[in-house]
Structure 1
Amino acid sequence: MQRIALFIATNLAILLVVSFVYNVISRATGYQLGQTGGLLLFCALFGFGGAFVSLWISRWMAIRATGAKVIEQPANQAEQWLLKTVQRQAQKADIPVPQVAIYPSPEANAFATGRSKKESLVAVSSGLMTAMSEDEVEAVLAHEISHIANGDMVTLTLIQGVVNTFVMFLARLIASAINNAARGNNQQGGGLGIFAYYGIVMVLEVVFGIFASIIVMWFSRQREFRADAGAATLVGPDKMISALQRLKRAQESKLEGSMMAFGINGKHSGLSKLFMSHPPLDDRIQALTRRPL
């Protein structure tokens, strides 16, 4: 959950920054936004650029946003077990051993992030270590290792780059159409002012960005099913099902009445599900139960 939320939040911030830079460059160079092919190419450059910058700094951002402590020398038996478990699973998944970290949080949670399989991070919350058994923590770690092995962060970046491109492109296309319509009705032929034009662009980018996140979240939910299946292969389906059931019991009493967009449990309306990065826990458990042995 945090892996996707951090990535999306960082990407949206960068998208708005690069959009502002794009506006300044296009204004300073006199670039004609009416040139559709050139506009699409320029939007792709900035759209993918923002997504890849988000990916590049994702590990750094995750550590600082959560206050995670990277384990270099284990300070206790729990940290030693954590390192050995990740090392064993990484070897079984045939990937380089990622950095391992623990971050302070009472909630049972974990995430994996990083710009590549060689530059990845697996972090678990302190709450996860105390709320779950070793078998359940092992399953959660296997789930995150599967995200890395599947290259989910890179693939998510490509998807985000595509939606960023079209968010920027459509926002400017519609703003240009509004500008042309205003110019046609204006006897002076002035159209929109520069601040009004770019104000419309920014508003449209935020609106389209929200709708684009639905696409990204749908993709994220499919990758969660795949990571669950990967964890079942690494440690067995029973451990993964037990971990999900434990998460379900832990979350049922905490999110009542204050469901967040990226909530992890299954209590949500059909509309809010569109903005969730994870499928309902019941659906994930059923998928593992139906999974052929």
Structure 2
Amino acid sequence: MFKRIGLFLLVNILVVSTIGLISSLLGIQPYLTANGINYESLLAICLLWGFAGSFISLMLSKFMAKMAFRLRPIESTDPNFGYVHQAVSLYSKSAGISKMPEVYIYDSPEVNAFATGPSKNNSLVAVSSGLLQTMRRDEVEGVIAHEVSHIANGDMVTMALAQGVMNAFVMFLSRVAAFAISQALRKDDDEGPGLGPFAHMMLTWVLDILFGLLCLPILMWFSRYREFRADAGGAKLAGREKMIAALEKLKNNHAPIDNREPNLAAFKISGAPKWIELISSHPSLDKRIEALRS
């Protein structure tokens, strides 16, 4: 499941939980007063930490992608795959992107591609070797148009903003819950919280991760909505028939080939099995094809 959620979400959860853990270790808890929790102070802190964690993940996205997939650049003069670079260049200009995304290939039998980066003018598009070996040129162009549309729509930044809101909610809820549990465990004649400082810190950290996972279906619903928009944008850039042909080929070839490979599923074009659609970043391929045809 985690591999299908994507490196962005994984890094975000780790960053946010680490921020919370470090702040607890350093005793940075200005929201706790003698009378309990100052909810306004806690909300302000959670908004700050939540958006900081999300945008740190966003800023690391290109670096993480390059390291995780060992990306190799594709140049326009490449005798085999130069057309991929040329398609990214053409569609980027058509979509109004002033600085062309970097173009890469990564070795994998998986039929897939993704786009990521902190902004429209600081992004990349990567395709797998399996995709280039499996698809015809027009189908590859449909996939590229979809990924360029993600960039043009600002989906990386939009996802970071949505994740920032989720982070703030998670951090706020986990701290309120940890305080309530600690108070419930305190005996009438005890002074201070029922849990010791270390136990309270670890409980908050665990709740940060737990609530972060529980909020994933909401974020994934938003991601699926953005996928339909990227498909529509890809159809405008490359043509509807190319987009449908690409999705049809993905449908025929979609299968989990290498379970060891971490996936940037937040921006990958493949969908997930129907039974896990609730926590999938992508709608089913059938639904995407139907949306384009209608």
TM-score scaled to structure 1, two decimals?
A: 0.89
Residue 169 of structure 2: which of 163, 166, 177 is its match? 166
Residue 139 of structure 2 aligns to which amino acid in structure 1? E
Q: Provide the rounded CA distance (Å) in 2 between the counterparts of 1:247 and 1:128.
A: 9
Residue 283 of structure 2: which of 255, 260, 279 is its match? 279
Q: Provide the rounded CA distance (Å) in 1 between the counterparts of 2:61 and 2:281.
A: 17
Counterpart of 1:77 in 2: which secondary structure?
A: coil
Identity across the alignment (%): 45
Q: What's the CA shift string for 1:229-283, capped at 9, x where partnerless? A: 001111111111111110111115859xxxx9x69446332xx211100100000
Q: Provide the rounded CA distance (Å) in 2 between the counterparts of 1:276 and 1:28.
A: 36
Q: Provide the rounded CA distance (Å) in 2 between the counterparts of 1:31 and 1:24.
A: 15
Counterpart of 1:115 in 2: which secondary structure?
A: strand
Change (3 A) 1:274 1:3: closer
Residue 88 of structure 2: which of 81, 86, 89 is its match? 86
Offset at residue 83 of structure 1 (A): 1.2
Change (3 A) 1:119 1:248: same
Q: Unaligned 5+ residue runs, structure 1? A: none
- The aligned residue for residue 267 of structure 1 is 273
Checking the alignment, whether the CA contact within 8 Å between 1:266 and 1:282 is kept in structure 2 is no
Q: Provide the rounded CA distance (Å) in 1 between the counterparts of 2:28 and 2:237.
A: 55
Offset at residue 2 of structure 1 (A): 8.2
Q: Provide the rounded CA distance (Å) in 1 between the counterparts of 2:293 and 2:66.
A: 34
Counterpart of 2:201 in 1: which secondary structure?
A: helix
Checking the alignment, whether the CA contact within 8 Å between 2:220 and 2:278 is kept in structure 1 is yes
Q: Provide the rounded CA distance (Å) in 2 between the counterparts of 1:143 and 1:87.
A: 13
Change (3 A) 1:148 1:187: same
- The aligned residue for residue 155 of structure 2 is 152
Change (3 A) 1:3 1:79: farther
Moved more, 108-117 or 174-183: 174-183
- The aligned residue for residue 32 of structure 1 is 32
Say which structure, 1 or 2, has more relative contact order (CA 8 Å, 6+ apart). Answer: 2
> How many aligned residue pairs are there?
282
Offset at residue 201 of structure 1 (A): 1.0
Q: Is 1:244 aligned with 2:247? A: yes
Checking the alignment, whether the CA contact within 8 Å between 1:93 and 1:149 is kept in structure 2 is yes
Checking the alignment, whether the CA contact within 8 Å between 1:3 and 1:112 is kept in structure 2 is no
Residue 129 of structure 1: which of 124, 128, 132 is its match? 132
Q: Provide the rounded CA distance (Å) in 1 between the counterparts of 2:241 and 2:78.
A: 28
- The aligned residue for residue 218 of structure 1 is 221
CA RMSD of the aligned region, Å?
A: 2.4
Residue 6 of structure 2 aligns to which amino acid in structure 1? A
Checking the alignment, whether the CA contact within 8 Å between 1:252 and 1:265 is kept in structure 2 is no
Change (3 A) 1:102 1:155: same
Checking the alignment, whether the CA contact within 8 Å between 2:142 and 2:243 is kept in structure 1 is yes
Change (3 A) 1:80 1:176: same
Checking the alignment, whether the CA contact within 8 Å between 1:2 and 1:111 is kept in structure 2 is no
User: What is the 5 A alignment of 1:1-293?
Assistant: 5-25=6-26, 27=27, 32=32, 34-71=37-74, 73-74=75-76, 76-96=78-98, 97-183=100-186, 185-190=187-192, 191-252=194-255, 264-265=270-271, 267-269=273-275, 272-290=276-294
Q: Would you identify which runs of 4 or more consecutive aligned residues in structure 1 move more than 3 Å?
A: 1-4, 28-31, 252-255, 262-267
